[in-house]
Amino acid sequence: MLLAPLALNVQHLFVYSDSPFLTSQYQSVVVDNVVTKYFNVSTNSTIYAILNGSLNETYNEVRTIASKYLKDYFIITPFEYLKEVNSTYLKQVSPELENLTSILEPLHGLYINLTKVREVILNNFTEFQFQLNVTYGLPTHKFFSTSPKAIEFMLVYEKLSNDSPLNASREASLYVFKDPFVLLFSFNNYSNASLVYNTILHFDNYSYLVYLLTGKEVPNEALISPKAYALKVIESKFPPPPISLSNFHRGNEWLFLIEVPKNESLTSVEQFIQEINGTVTGHLPVYAQSAYYTKRDLEIIDIVTVLLVTLLLILLLRSLVPILLFLTSSPPLMARVPPIDSGLHLSFEGQSRGSETPSHTSS
């Protein structure tokens, strides 16, 4: 009788495990071992709790009840989970992302310079007209100037005589004036001041100018925001995990993940399930529920057994004194009840022989 309390609490020390019935021959066991060894998967069990209400209300309820019954627990909110997933994804693709961004950064710098040059042209349009006249007027003898820039232009132009007149004019102009916007015009339209001004005013095709200067074809969005464009390209090649807030929040319901050690008491998990105002599921809760109903059934069996044995002894002995002596001198029946987890072993044994248990596979 003195050892009865200890015997009743023994079940809290047992941990359910289906490993005795799942040998290394099963593929799920092999995969589980590989994932645990090489992919740094947590060895904890996850309890999934779905509650109604606001985020703060549901979080406070989960935290309060978990701190009451669960040891070494850790609550993962939807936003923390999404942050961790995105952080892991970015860490995995960061080498490719940095490589592509480093290629686009110089082109982005060129784009910034071109936007500044455009503003200068609009503010000093007369100077830009002079550049056009030198570039396309001097070679065709439709414009004459003795300025130092014009003389320098003709010297460079003559050295490029082996090239076509148009290319030679543009190359010489870039060397002397260093203004890429002259490439937008030619011998046929440089003298139309209204056309030239409106072209510069409404110009937004910087990718075309970048292509003329570097030979690299990139869209405008890559020039404007290289990192965002690089991430878009990487995501098209390596899609991110298809997880969003909608996976954790629908209507008025929130999903929380509670990480607990694998050796968490099934009784404690069952108490957590009973008190929380919501739906609880997961690998460990399934075992805890099985343990709870197994224990309840065994208690009913004990009560019925005591009543039947008492009734039988009364009928046989026709006296209460021997019966009371027998019951008080024997250990409590509950102390002889096998551990709850052993009952679970028996309930899963038949499945494990024919095929892998669904609980282990889902885990």
**What is the spatial distance between Cα 91 and Cα 59, in angstroms, rounded to a whole number?**
29
Q: What percent of the chain has pLDDT over 70?
A: 84
pLDDT of residue 354: 34
Residue 287: band (very low, low, confident or very high) from pLDDT cuts 50, 70, 90: confident
pLDDT of residue 334: 43
Residue with tokens 């990487």: 234
pLDDT of residue 360: 35
Is residue 126 domain-resident? yes
Q: Is 240 exposed, middle or buried (0-12, 13-18, 19+ CB in 10 A)?
A: middle
- Helix 55-69 / helix 266-275 crossing angle, nearest 10 deg: 150
Residue pair 256/62 in contact (Cβ under 8 Å)? The answer is yes
Which residues partner with 256 through β-bridges?
Answer: 49
pLDDT of residue 253: 94
**What is the spatial distance between Cα 80 and Cα 252, in angstroms, rounded to a whole number?**
19
Task: Specify the higher pLDDT residue, 353 or 127.
Answer: 127
Which residues partner with 278 through β-bridges?
Answer: 51
Residues 6+ apart with CB under 8 A from 71: 260, 261, 264, 268
What is the number of other CB atoms lying within 10 angstroms of the CB of residue 324? 12
Number of domains in the chain: 1
Instruction: Tell me the pLDDT tens digit for each residue of 106-137.
Output: 999 999 999 999 999 999 999 999 999 999 99
Instruction: Tell me the pLDDT tens digit for each residue of 134-167.
Output: 999 999 989 998 899 999 999 999 998 788 899 9
Closest CA to 201 of 127, 124, 113, 119: 119
pLDDT of residue 3: 86
pLDDT of residue 161: 79
pLDDT of residue 357: 34
Domain that holds residue 165: 86-237
**What is the spatial distance between Cα 199 and Cα 182, in angstroms, rounded to a whole number?**
11
Least confident of 25-29, 187-191, 213-217, 246-250: 25-29
**What is the spatial distance between Cα 337 and Cα 32, in angstroms, rounded to a whole number?**
33
Q: What is the mean pLDDT of residues 318-329?
A: 71
Q: Is 332 exposed, middle or buried (0-12, 13-18, 19+ CB in 10 A)?
A: middle
Is residue 201 domain-resident? yes
pLDDT of residue 18: 60
Q: Is 66 exposed, middle or buried (0-12, 13-18, 19+ CB in 10 A)?
A: buried
**What is the spatial distance between Cα 229 and Cα 222, in angstroms, rounded to a whole number?**
5
Q: pLDDT at residue 183 above 50?
A: yes
pLDDT of residue 289: 84
Closest CA to 357 of 16, 25, 21, 30: 21
Q: Mean pLDDT score of the chain, rounded to an integer? A: 83
pLDDT of residue 98: 92
Closest CA to 348 of 279, 290, 262, 302: 290
**In the structure encoding, which two tokens stand for residue 24, read together?**
């290394």
Is residue 309 domain-resident? no
Residue pair 361/36 in contact (Cβ under 8 Å)? The answer is no
Residue 71: band (very low, low, confident or very high) from pLDDT cuts 50, 70, 90: confident
pLDDT of residue 359: 35
Residue 168: band (very low, low, confident or very high) from pLDDT cuts 50, 70, 90: very high
Q: pLDDT at residue 327 above 80?
A: no
Is residue 136 domain-resident? yes
**What is the spatial distance between Cα 292 and Cα 269, in angstroms, rounded to a whole number?**
10
Is residue 305 domain-resident? no
Residue pair 28/361 in contact (Cβ under 8 Å)? The answer is yes
**In the structure encoding, which two tokens stand for residue 290, read together?**
């099985």
The contacts found for 174-178 with CB under 8 angstroms, 24 or more apart, are 176/134, 176/149, 176/152, 177/131, 177/134, 177/135, 177/149
Is residue 260 domain-resident? no
Residue 282: band (very low, low, confident or very high) from pLDDT cuts 50, 70, 90: confident
Least confident of 102-111, 248-257, 279-288: 279-288
Q: What is the mean pLDDT of residues 202-218?
A: 92
Closest CA to 114 of 217, 199, 223: 223
pTM of the model: 0.59
Is residue 10 domain-resident? no
Q: pLDDT at residue 358 above 80?
A: no
pLDDT of residue 40: 64
Q: pLDDT at residue 355 above 50?
A: no
Pairing of strands 249-250, 74-76: unpaired
Instruction: Tell me the pLDDT tens digit for each residue of 13-34.
Output: 666 566 666 667 777 677 777 7
